Amino acid sequence: MAVLFLLFLLTVSVVSADEDGFIGVNIGTAISDMPSPTQVVALLKAQNIRHVRLYDADRALLLALANTGIRVTVSVPNDQILGIGQSNATAANWVARNVIAHVPATNITAIAVGSEILTTLPNAAPVLVSALKFIHSALVASNLDGQIKVSTPHSSSIILDSFPPSQAFFNRSWDPVMVPLLKFLQSTGSYFMLNAYPYYDYMQSNGVIPLDYALFRPLPPDKEAVDANTLLHYTNVFDAIVDAAYFAMSYLNFTNVPIFVTESGWPSKGDSSEPDATLENANTYNSNLIRHVLNNTGTPKHPKIAVSTYIYELYNEDLRPGAISEKNWGLFDANGMPVYTLHLTGAGTVLANDTTNQTFCVAKEGADPKMLQAALDWACGPGKVDCSYLLQGQPCYEPDNVVAHSTYAFNAYFQKMAKSPGTCDFKGHGSCIFPGSAGRNGSLPNTTSLAPSSNSTTSGCHSVYIYGAGSFTTSVIIGVLLMSVFFL
């Protein structure tokens, strides 16, 4: 009987691919110096990010996203689920205020109702499906249900016995919620939202899961994980997690609900108990993830069926509680500077860390030191640049002179403002440098062409990046500003 049931599962996989996979980003707000909505949108445009997920429905950010074409997933916060799940009117009011008020100018395409409710807020689980239905009913009433899908993100921890994937099933205690939820997703043409974190699977495996397997690094055939029931080969943890969710849905007789991964990423910094939360590993994971998704590789169970994914997350969130790693999942810091430069040769233009407007702001040669100091004070004050790197003992303190410190602050402000016209003026004391233009003494000093490799080191002082043609990334130290180069 078990064999027959397994054969049934293997022959009813009817999830279809109706579009290419995309990469989006999550935008958290636990940041002490949160960029303005205008700055956030400017960064999204500069990085060609066309899909974002918000953890709320922030009015100012939704207004800033208007007329950009960026596809937006808004969220009902967890603390509102109980109210919305018990009142159709409350749900309708939420949709009117946070969705109808912004469309069509803002391209809202999905509503995430809560986040990981079953594992983080189980007392709201009994009304979760009602909340989704009430939200959807409000969309139907406004004729928006065709363009806006409704779902709810789940932690992968609700999947038990997840390897081999063919044996996976949802925690049976949640069947009274999961079955009607999947019926709702199926009937409305929505998708199963899954938060997939190979980092945590790796950390909790006590050495059973190889790091290379978690990071999408190539494995020899004898090192690949094989599902003995299906003989499918798994070359990375991400695919195994996604397929475990597909099989778990099949176990409940749902085979046509596609999966969107609403969160995935890798932290770039951790404490002593998190030795693999490093810049190199974060860069490797996210670079390989982006390539994997945009190539429409699919999974072993559903090859060529795209698994669209939102990277966690756009910015480091310094106010998040918990371990150091919790604050360091971002691709950028609050100034809009990349935490690391992704290895994305051949993976399209999304998140290419600015390959279009290749300019940087530096202190003008021969500028009056007193005027430079005044401009520096403005950048670090009203300009809201994080100048903590310039303090004594910090990575960018040396050389301790106004030219070097001004260049750091000017460029940080310029990048933060997405290189907008006039943001490198500083009353005539800032100057733009373009790739190939002359630096001090007629050349750009210490220019190094770098091909992608597995090494990545930094002192913590931001490098300035200029991008060359072809498959090479060029890291440039301008003047005496920067003391370190990120070796990719």
- Show which residues are catalytic: 116, 263
**φ and ψ at residue 290, rounded to 5 degrees:** -60, -45
What angle in degrees, to the nearest 10, is found between the helix axes of 237-251 and 2-11?
110
How far the first Cα of the chain sits from its last, in Å, is 52
The DSSP symbol for 36 reads P
Which residues does 359 contact at the CB level (< 8 Å), separation at least 6? 414, 419, 424, 432, 433, 434
**φ and ψ at residue 170, rounded to 5 degrees:** -75, 150
**Residues 99, 309: Cα–Cα separation, whole Å:** 22
Nearest to 452 by CA among 470, 466, 472, 468: 472
Are 385 and 335 in contact by the 8 Å Cβ rule? The answer is: yes
Cα dihedral sign, 317-319-320-326: positive
Nearest to 250 by CA among 186, 340, 157: 186
The DSSP symbol for 34 reads P
**Residues 59, 65: Cα–Cα separation, whole Å:** 10
How far from 272 is each of 4, 105, 267, CA to CA, in Å?
49, 47, 14
The DSSP symbol for 480 reads T
Nearest to 73 by CA among 102, 37, 112: 112
**Residues 353, 432: Cα–Cα separation, whole Å:** 18
71 dihedral zone (left: phi>0; alpha: psi -120 to 50; beta): beta
Nearest to 460 by CA among 340, 300, 294, 321: 340
